[in-house]
Amino acid sequence: MVKRNMDVPWSYTGDNGPEYWHTLCDWYEKGASYPYQSPIALDHQQVEPLDLGTTGLTFTYQTERFTEKEFKNTIHFIPFECESYVSFKGKDYALTDIHYHLPSEHVIDGEQKPVEIHLVHMDHEGNNLVVAVLCEIVEGILAEGPLRKATVWDMDRHLEVFDPTLFLPEQRSHFHYVGSLTTPPTKGPINWFVFDQPGKLSRTFLSQFKEEILQGNNRPLQDKKGRAVYYVSERK
Ligand SMILES: [Zn+2]
């Protein structure tokens, strides 16, 4: 008898590690039954070009208030008002959560990066859209580039004000494919957008959020099952 409980504990190792997630409860089992799972290996040599014109992914991010919370084996940055959003194929998806995985979950041209940031969005019907940025870790506090303003988090107030554009690389070319959530219930379909230019994340920033404890919170690569992966060049 499998448990029907949204709070069933899961982890990245041992008896409730990734290979057992689908056995832990009905909800996880249902999510895992979606055939096109994430993450997958991405390769510039195995893509189809995609040009959706003005209906391609566009960002309308703005400075807003975030709080931080630890759950689901990572640290999440949650916006209070969800004012930032992206648009894709005529639909708007509000930014609802930013979190990260150490090391990266997606692999580009056979290369894994130390960190992968996920910017999770949701439309009015509850459909998710995830933007991923693979990052290098740089020592010290960033004087410029991503996260320069959010390098030091206000741990007393659990509140920080920043523009989530800080997490995005300058160049917006990206892979696009349809997959699943990478954490239980691993449900799909989810529209994925993975930037191919690496971002930079400050060690000082990460170390505030138990970097050592969270190390290894990446789901193993999943079978592509012949699905199409598209590549969107940066639009001028
Ligand atoms: Zn994630």
Number of domains in the chain: 1
Answer whether residue 2 is part of any domain: no
Measured in angstroms, how far is the CA atom of residue 176 from the centroid of ligand 1? 16
What is the whole-number distance in angstroms between the Cα of residue 104 and the centre of ligand 1?
9
Average pLDDT for 104-119: 97
Q: Is residue 221 part of a domain?
A: yes
Tell me what the mean pLDDT of segment 145-149 comes to: 52
pLDDT at 157 over 90: no
**Per-residue burial over 79-95, b = 16 or more CB atoms within 10 Å of its CB, e = otherwise:** beeeebbbbbeeeebbb
Predicted confidence at residue 40, as pLDDT, reads 98
Cα(193) to ligand 1 centroid in Å equals 12
Does residue 190 belong to any structural domain of this protein?
yes
Is residue 174 in some structural domain? yes
Tell me the CATH number at 198. 3.10.200.10
Lowest mean pLDDT among 20-24, 93-97, 165-169, 184-188: 165-169
**In this structure, is residue 166 part of a structural domain?**
yes
pLDDT at position 143 is 52
Domain that holds residue 200: 37-232
Distance CA 228, CA 234 (A): 19
Average pLDDT over every residue of 146-175: 79
pLDDT at 151 exceeding the cut of 80: no
Cα 3 to Cα 26: distance, rounded to the nearest angstrom:
6
Residue 129 domain-assigned? yes
pLDDT digits (tens, 9 = 90+) for 123-132: 999 999 999 9
Label residue 31 by pLDDT band (50, 70, 90): very high
- How far, in Å, from the CA of 131 to the mean position of ligand 1? 9
The answer to whether residue 28 is domain-embedded is: no
**pLDDT tens-digit readout, 214-228:** 789 999 999 999 999
154 Cα–ligand 1 center, Å: 23
* pLDDT tier at 6, thresholds 50, 70, 90: low
Interstrand relation of 190-195 and 230-232 (parallel, antiparallel or unpaired): unpaired
To 5 degrees, how large is the angle CA 103–CA 106–CA 110? Answer: 95
15 falls within a domain: no
